[in-house]
Structure 1
């Protein structure tokens, strides 16, 4: 009997110990530094950082802003691609980051009617994120994108770009109509506008204007419809409404200007004009144009190192040829490179969508007869002047005097007596200068308009036959891990090459 009691007692103690052990293990399995629920505000901030920082930096060379004597480093300007991941960057980074993040934000907000403003802003940002991807690659995963965690969709289908644009514009229009001034917004969690609904409306309609203009090649009637819808709304036309993210000079990398960070760590960190690891300098096409037109932005953008010190002296600025073979030239130090006091500042802003860009689009609309409130000449002038004023956002070294702005604007006024083609050439050549350093946006607009009329670089060994890129490449991981849908996209759109023309680029 005693033995039986001992056995029972032993089992009870063991059971209690086991339960106690389980309880402790359950607590150990909980990460004290993580949350089991999404905080929309925090994730939205991250989605903004990730989307703005996700870019094809090599397009600086494609748009003939910068180049390098190094063949590998200058794939964008020499069209040589034997290794690396540069053409895949935006696609590969977008889905696990900003697309997944903004999807989580929307799912967390859409069940609460009180969060209608946050939801509208998140949906506008989602359109911005997807527009960047499809504009570079064409057909992409869209309707099934970001559903791996919630619906186990690990092999999303690719949607046709035409359908993607139709849905994005529809989503944008609905989001803009849903704002309610009586409801809360993101506030400080919104890095661009601090949750200001009025400014987000301007951003949304300006994004609609940009996307409407994108469609002038494949469907000019549809383009006109959406451009006029955007104009009927409220647009970014004042310096105070520029969509931008401001960064910090120190701290975590995510808080620093991503373009400046890339440039510094690729080439210009030593700041002596000689020790550039990737061999980068400004392209002669860009510097020559700035000098030829006496552009007051030249000393703001460019320096030449003299005795180890950066000089903004306009007379010595000199761009480097993209045809220099894979050897460092003896006069390397004499070539211009980005100004460390403006472009290379880690706390410089990233301009997402500006009043300069909007005014240039409106000028095109006026030339096409889609807008009559102001003339093309006035809108072009407004865009040009705004593009010069915005350099003041980079600090004192970016300030251009009003007198210099006015002199340049007068000397380069739009010649309205020219043909439509000639006016568009003048307009979008100025766009090329004015939107720098946003080379990705300039590339997308060049692909649409053909301006500026850049001379392609037929460098020995290039893979495009001396032609400028038309699109970026789907990453090899898609061919391996999402093969069936990848094959379907290629069969519909064309080969996965730099020269394949997507729907937006059809002639």
Structure 2
């Protein structure tokens, strides 16, 4: 953790101004009510929340790559990433933002809150740090954790295995849960997700931990007893009222839904629905399709298969395929971090595998209902058949539509549904990508430690599987 940070610097400047002044009654005469002399310990919270959701929902990073790779979306033009040529700059930015704008800020905020004995803000800082480290581990595999963000003390951090990264994520969330005990205070105006509601942050901490544990449920790290303890706590997000999201309110970046940039640029035609998702939802009579996608002029829905060097000549030009639904491109569309739909479906999986008690079928329908609700539809208006794990994995794939890289995470873990390789893929990529390649900045600045990570994990390739995906 850095000893000095931006907020500390501001405090130092304020102090210096006070010490160098000797004018009589200066404080009384020159104090402006609009310029506070005390800095809130959670001043950085809104900044890091926005940075996190904007990056994992970037339409170049996610919309062209992860969302397209699980065939939720596709590209009828400019479709290199759809053919497994992702934008390397977007991948670099994911790495940079998670470390500098989320993890670093969270560590700074934790230190400030600790000095003020504000347990609530300390807990929130640990949740944000855990979210960022899990995102990095899921996307890349082995990543720096214990030596990360040490500044000049350790300029070239060693990489930790993904298992070690997950161990730290779980530890951070356990500590967060203990700190979020109702004491302390979170400024409502700084908290873009929960408006300062400590009890909801406690549910998010428990739910992120539950999701993380399910992600490693096939690995030696898994402990089913901890899952049941989380269920027994009553602190999981099982009601959409507790969903973690940012509701954007303006049309100006960075305060608008990241995907609204497509609309602002008049680029809706550059994205369309993936054929696999559209066909699955049509075949199951899923009413969410009318929200997920815009129909063609004849009222039908048509998706595009992944790939093609020239989609137009293959019959998939813009206008011949369904575009992303207007609700998901609106400036004020909610951008989710974690939803009750996701957690209920994970509970269904855990129950079906005997990890926890309860009705798998009941959790399954609760997950469907929660997804219907956040899409403006009535609970109970869709009742897909529950057929065990296959149906759960299918609905995890469907219900995480446009939720960052979570659909890619869940698909990699389950391999459900079976997806076909993109047409005309990048040479040498013979499977749907299962990770992002390491950033160019690491290759040039931290090459020795990166080489050790590659030696442990496998080639720095799109198709190398991360640790939890190997089991």
Specify the TM-score bucket, using the shorter chain as the normaliser: 0.7 to 0.9
Matched, 1:64 2:71: yes
Aligned length: 432
Cα distance in 1 for partners of 2:167, 2:119 equals: 23
Structure 2: distance between partners of 1:439 and 1:112: 34
- The change in CA–CA distance for 1:54 and 1:414 in structure 2 (over 3 A counts) is same
SS of 2:245 mapped into structure 1? strand
> Which runs of 5 or more structure 1 residues have no equivalent in the other structure?
1-22, 25-32, 269-275, 307-312, 392-398, 416-422
Give the TM-score normalised by the residue count of structure 2: 0.85
Deviations 1:296-349 (A, max 9, x none): 11211211454xxxxxx6x42211233443253465312100122x01101111
Task: Kindly indicate whether residue 337 of structure 2 is the aligned counterpart of residue 352 of structure 1.
Answer: yes
Aligned to 1:419: none
Native 8 Å contact 1:80 1:462 kept in 2: yes
More deviation, 476-485/323-332: 323-332
Counterpart position of 1:108: 112
Q: Structure 2: any 5+ residue segments left out of the alignment?
A: 1-19, 22-33
Q: Post-superposition shift, 1:35? A: 11
Q: 1:194 to 1:153 in 2, by over 3 A?
A: same
Q: How many Å separate the matches in 1 of 2:46 and 2:382?
A: 39
Question: Tell me, what secondary structure is at the counterpart of 2:294?
Answer: strand
- Say whether the 8 Å CA contact 1:60–1:437 is kept in structure 2: yes
Alignment deviations for residues 262-316 of structure 1 (CA, whole Å, 9 cap, x no partner): 5754821xxxxxxx3xx3221111111111111111211211454xxxxxx6x42
- CA spacing shift, 1:218–1:351, aligned 2, 3 Å: same
Q: Structure 2 CA distance, aligned partners of 1:214 and 1:36?
A: 45
1:161 and 1:465 map into 2 onto residues whose CA distance is 23
Contact 1:124 1:172 in 2 (8 A): yes
Q: Distance in 1 between matches of 2:35 and 2:418?
A: 52
Q: Residue 85 of structure 1 aligns with which residue?
A: 89
RMSD: 2.6
Note if contact 2:296-2:302 (Cα within 8 Å) is conserved in structure 1.
no
Structure 1 counterpart SS, 2:254: helix
| Distance in structure 2 (CA, Å) of the matches to 1:217 and 1:36 | 52
For 1:335, the equivalent position in structure 2 comes to 321
Matches within 5 A, 1:282-321: 282-304=273-295, 306=297, 315-321=299-305
Pair 1:477 & 2:441 matched: yes
Q: Distance in 1 between matches of 2:449 and 2:146?
A: 13
Per the alignment, residue 95 of structure 1 pairs with 99
My pick for the range that moved more, 229-238 or 315-324, is 315-324
CA contact (8 A) 2:271 2:323 kept: yes
Which of 428, 433, 436 does residue 393 from structure 2 map onto? 428
Contact 2:368–2:382 (8 Å) recurs in 1: no
Inter-CA distance 129–37: structure 2 relative to 1 (3 Å threshold): farther
SS at 1:406 equivalent: coil
Structure-2 separation of matches of 1:326 and 1:263: 24
TM-score, reference length from structure 1: 0.79
